[in-house]
A = this chain, B = another copy of it.
Amino acid sequence: MNNLAAAFKPKSLKLTPQRIAVYEMLKNTKAHPSAETIYNTIKEQYPTMSLATVYKTLKTLEEIGLVMELNVGEGNFRYDSNTQPHSHIVCNKCGKVDDIEDADLSHINEAVKKHTEYTVLSSKVYFYGICPECKTSDESSN
């Protein structure tokens, strides 16, 4: 939350309970939730919270670099409060999204510069597969 205050002050953004709740919720999960999921979670404690506010807050947080949007190809966005470069893996069965933090993929940005005339600024890498839990339930259903 100190993160929030520090980032908000110079932009004269207001530190509202709703914004704090959205950011704290994201900080405390590894699930990369969608706006809808964030809304449903927070609503339990902030019954007045509206989905539009969640969207507006996420957009604000993204603009100041505290949150990043993920798009794993489901047709909606997921959000991640880890803004360090890292890749993600999606379970093709249950749709879960996990971080992949330790694999160093930073060299691919360098590698690709030899093959394009674009100025390369960033990259997003998504892996797809089957998570351990779904592998286990596969076995039991066979």
Q: Which residues of A contact B (CB under 8 A)?
A: 69, 71-73, 75, 77, 87, 89, 91-92, 98, 100-103, 105, 108-109, 111-112, 114-132, 135
Contact = CB atoms under 8 A, between A and B. Distances in A.
> Which of A77, A108, A118 has the most C-beta atoms of chain B within 10 angstroms of its own C-beta?
A118
Copies in the complex: 2
Contacts of A77: 75
Contact of A114 (B103, B111, B130): B103
Contacts of A105: 108, 111-112
Nearest to A72: B71
A44 to B, nearest CB: 28
B118 A112 contact: no
A113 to B, nearest CB: 9
A89 B112 contact: yes
The 8 closest A-B pairs by CB, nearest first: A118-B129, A103-B115, A71-B73, A120-B129, A119-B130, A121-B129, A117-B132, A123-B127
